[in-house]
A and B are shown apart, each in its own frame.
Chain A
Amino acid sequence: MVSMRAFDEVCLDALRRKAIHGELHVGIGQEAIGAGMAEALRTEDAVVSTHRNHYHGLAKGVDRMAFLAEICERETGLCRGRGGHMHPFDPANNFSATGIVGASLPVALGYAHAFRIRDEGAVAVGVTGDGGSHTGAFHEAMVMAGAARLPMVALVENNALAISVPFDDISPTRTVAERALAYSALGLHVNGTDVDKVADSFAAAMEHARSGRGPVIFEATCHRFRGHFEGDPEEYRSREERQKLRDSFDPITLYEGKLLEAGHSDDAALKAVRANEKAKMKALLQDVLDMPSPDPSEALQYRFVEEMTA
């Protein structure tokens, strides 16, 4: 969690230093979900993520230097600077993302069908937010996954806000997980700020899907501490509200509290962990900023097979 947050913090730094020139969506406050996924994911599993994808990619094992280089639009990036932060593709790790809300689920469905017919025992995880859970694509993918009992987990990061619209104002159900019944799926709902609970519950979801018992809607409620994107004026909530969320629901602080209470760590050790990860990521960013931007003369390359070099 600490490492993931440090990663997003250097992304903010890169934005300030104009190494990222477009929209940036960070996941600060949602680390328990990224970290909680990591343990149960295998290399052969697939994760199809969203516009807010950094933690999922790190959990899936995407090389952090190539990932940060892509976010910073470098030729050495995961996608040679053509994808950017919303569109990372790492075929070797079966990790990809889409910037279109809800569009991740059908792609995960495709992986799930391939895994089942090849009998590989792998699971496809389609990530979406509470906003994406209302799309037709979510419904269509769940219908097909449920009917064929495919090994798919729909991971819903419910941060209670679809940009500005509160989940409770637009959802016909109290949770997304309870919609699972309609798709013959397993519905799991977990406090997404508690990393232990996320890890246990997500492992159970993956096991359910892996063992051929059909898809899962895994909903983790959490809070987005920053705007929908960097620069979001956030007129839909007050500064005090945001501060309250940080004070009450920071997954890292909550977990540190648990460690301290159980006597597994002390203040100095925890501070050292944070400082160490920060330093590592700062160094990583410096390395990335020294890398070259793509050559403008190659702007048309990589559309079709005829344009492939390596």
Chain B
Amino acid sequence: MSAIQRPGDRLSMPLPATIAEAIGLEMERDPSILCIGEDIGRAGGVFGCTRGLQDRFGKDRVMDAPIAEMGFAGMGVGLAQAGMRPLVEIMFADFIGVCLEQMYNAAAKIPYMSGGRQRMPIVFKTAGGCIGSAAQHSQCLWGLFAHLPGLKIVAPCSPYDHKGLMAAALRCDDPIVFIEHKALLLRKGRDFRHNPHAPSEAYTVPIGKAAVVREGSDVTLATLSATVEHALAAADALSGEGISVEVVDLRSVVPLDTATTAESAARTGRLLVVDEDYLSFGLSAELSMRVLERLGFSALKQVERLAVPDVPIPAALALEKAVVPGPDMIAEALHKMAQGA
């Protein structure tokens, strides 16, 4: 990379390069930050999110781990207890099944179990979401992690947010699950509809604050991660028909910014929560309920949710499209709501 870049150049950066830049800037700033994970060193990560970092910071700080997730997830816990700030990459969110023990019994609970005397600055960075890889390589799982008290769950969409939230995560003293979306990791800055430009210098985006990424007056659509892009596409498609959609990018599941969503829904009178994670016992019900508790149960004309209907993600494209909310499915749901009242 040259020292001076115009914004136009930066828009051609793949999203993983932006993430690597964020991690690199934080590692320069704070020598206690180190990264562990499979294929993150020599290969620079299967998506390239740590590319170049091992050359810059050495093998002790950018460690290629064996396929031993329980071992190195727990290693992250020990590193944090020893005063370091580990970033532990679990390649795909689905693989967390083999090391969840260290995440939910150790990292998540230790700050509380110690009466606040043992901080746990650790980032579990992982990639979730659907890119056609079927049931064991497509899950989002933020609802599962959010159900377990003690973890903060971040799932950004825009390049700007990826960079700023990664920096904020690495500076935070709490354990954070940072869930990237595989489909977004395959994009360049210019492919994004919202906030495609991430400045080259270090900055943070506060964890726990949602953003209204498109203003509208008829329906509030709250979602996060790649679905924000689908929602913006659907909203654009409907604007020609005179349906005005406000899109809220939640950016994190824990903390969940109910206030921003409720404030928007109170204005539009309708709330649609769209979630690429599973429907039941998840984000869509939780957010809907919190908004209603805040506004009163008769405050809104309509509350709907759209999520993966409790089925493993199928392999066949036709089946996948039938269960994972994409732009068309979202547009249809919005249409129905607009007609409904």
Q: Measuring CB to CB, which residues of chain A are less than 8 angstroms from any residue of chain B?
A: 46, 48, 77-83, 87, 89-91, 94, 96, 98-100, 103, 105-117, 124, 136-137, 140-141, 143-144, 147, 301-305, 307-309
Contacts and interface: CB of A to CB of B under 8 A. Distances in A.
Query: Which 6 pairs of residues, A with B, have the shortest CB-CB distance?
Result: A110-B78, A106-B74, A140-B71, A80-B115, A114-B82, A89-B114
Given A144-B65, A144-B71, A303 B149 contact: yes
Chain B contact surface mostly: mixed
Contact of B83 (A99, A114, A116): A114
Interface of B: 34, 60-61, 63, 65-66, 68, 70-84, 86, 101-102, 105-106, 109-119, 149-150, 152, 172-174
A89 B117 CA distance: 8
B113 A110 contact: no
Contact of A109 (B74, B83, B110): B74
18 contacts: A89-B110, A96-B118, A106-B74, A109-B74, A110-B74, A110-B86, A111-B81, A113-B60, A114-B79, A116-B60, A137-B71, A140-B66, A140-B68, A143-B68, A144-B65, A147-B66, A303-B112, A304-B174
Contact of B115 (A79, A124, A140, A143): A79
A63 B293 CA distance: 46
Given A79-B115, A303-B149, 7 more contacts: A87-B109, A87-B110, A91-B117, A108-B78, A113-B78, A115-B82, A301-B116
Contacts, number: 152
Contacts of A89: 110, 113-114, 117-118
A94 B152 CA distance: 25
B82 A111 contact: yes
A110 B115 contact: no
A285 B315 CA distance: 62
Contacts of B113: 79, 82-83, 87, 89
A107 B101 CA distance: 12
B5 to A, nearest CB: 33
Contacts of B34: 117
B103 to A, nearest CB: 11
Contacts of A140: 66, 68, 70-72
A90 B258 CA distance: 36
A136 B74 CA distance: 12
A100 B77 CA distance: 14
B172 A100 contact: no
A308 B118 CA distance: 11
Contact of B82 (A81, A94, A305, A307): A94
A309 B117 CA distance: 10
Given A79-B115, A117-B60, A141 B71 contact: yes
